[in-house]
Each structure stands twice: as structure tokens, then as C-alpha cells.
Amino acid sequence: MAEPGVKKRVAILISGRGSNMAALIDAAKAPDYPAEIALVVSNRPDAAGLQRARQAGIATALIDHRSFGDDRAAFERALDAELTAQHIDLVCLAGFMRLFTPWFVTRWSGRLLNIHPALLPQFKGLHTHRRALEARVSRHGATVHFVVAETDAGPIILQDSVPVLEGDTEATLAARVLEVEHRIYPQALRLVAEGRATFGGEGTARSGLASPGH
């Protein structure tokens, strides 16, 4: 278990609107929440979430991947340096649209979380809602998992599902799943920050918990 009273310092990495980021920032306002959002990093200057983070009084950093050209390793070293300088304990990917090299993933192993808009291991990768509709699944959802080198393949921390309804479009299904994302990401971060879900530990296979117990 985490040391009582010592909040984990969390960085959220975004590329876009940042609604999951906002959900994590909101959750972390609770006095008993075991993590504080210390930093928001974007790889894109136009990410709407950056402005949202600033308005919430959170420190932000822009590490524009384009300024590193094709040098993915240099981008990751700059990101790692920023996270280290800010004494970050845990990193949450929230709509961060860059893949990592094994170097970065190994370095942050067990401390790097991602949210994926599907019930993993179903629908890894992009366009999950479209693919779920095409596959005519009856339930769809979202998953928070630890990041490993293989995309969307790391141990699951939490996931929950919603029904796919007659007449659903990508947009209506995405909106229903997004509500799940906003609920489970703060719960999953709590589990990790409290040491109750650990990489490779027993706590990584919790599934469908509306509210993890204490």
C-alpha cells in the first residue's frame, strides 16, 4: 500500500480535447484522492486540453514531436527529462496519439497507464467504435491498462461496458463509452496510486467494477 498522506505525482499526456484529463483533474480534487495532477504534457500545440489544464491551474508543458522530426528517441528523451524534472511518479496517457519505443515503456514500466475505448482485448488500435458496430457486438466499453511495448496489450487494471443499441452511430456509441472512460480512469488511477493494482500483480485483472472497494 502507498504511504498514507503522500500523494503520487501524476503527469497526464494528451494530444487533443482532454476530456479524460479533465475527469482525472476533477477526481484529484477530492482530499482523500491518493494522487495529484502535477503536470499536463501535450505533443501538439493546438491540443484543446492544454488550455483546459491551464484554466484548472495545472502546470503544462508542450513537447512538440514535430520539432524532433523522425527522431522518436529524442522526443522521448525530452519527455522523460520533463517528467523526471517534475518528480513524476505515474503517467496517464489520455488521448495521447504517439506510440512509444520499448525504451520509454520499459523505463516507466508499471507507472504508465492508458485508456482505450474498447473492451480489450477486443478492438485494439484505432476506430474502435466503427469496428464494434461493424462486428455487431452487443456490448462495447473502455479499458484502463498498464502500457507495454505491444500496443493496447498491457495488463488490464479496470474495464466496464455499455450496451450497443439499435440505431447507434459511431458518435452515439462513442458518447456512451466516453462516460465509462470518465468514470473508470479516476478509479483505475486510484487503484494504482494506492498500490492496489500493480504491474504483473494480482490486482491487474479487476473487471467491471463500478466502484472499487476499500
- Which residues in this chain contact ligand GRF in the complex, by CB under 6 A? 14, 16-21, 49, 94-95, 115-117, 178, 181
> Could you tell me the smallest distance in angstroms from the CB atom of residue 22 to ligand GRF?
8
- Quick one: 137 or 178, whose CB is closer to ligand GRF? 178
Type of residue found at 107: R
- Which residue's Cβ lies closest to ligand GRF? 95
> Could you tell me the smallest distance in angstroms from the CB atom of residue 20 to ligand GRF?
3
Q: Which residues pair with 113 in a beta bridge?
A: 92, 146
Provide the annotated active-site residues: 116
- Quick one: 69 or 178, whose CB is closer to ligand GRF? 178
- Quick one: 104 or 185, whose CB is closer to ligand GRF? 185
- Quick one: 12 or 192, whose CB is closer to ligand GRF? 12
DSSP 18-29: -HHHHHHHHHTT
Whole-number Å distance between alpha carbons of 49 and 55:
10
Q: Please answer whether residues 139 and 163 qualify as being in contact, where contact means their C-beta atoms are separated by less than 8 angstroms.
A: yes
Pairing between strand 139-146 and 156-163?
A: antiparallel
In the three-class reduction of DSSP (H, G, I as helix; E, B as strand; rest coil), residue 40 is classed as strand
> Could you tell me the smallest distance in angstroms from the CB atom of residue 203 to ligand GRF?
22
Query: Among positive and negative, which fits the CA dihedral 110, 100, 10, 32?
Result: negative
Which residues touch 95 (CB under 8 Å, ≥6 apart)? 14, 15, 16, 17, 18, 19, 20, 21, 49
> Could you tell me the smallest distance in angstroms from the CB atom of residue 142 to ligand GRF?
6
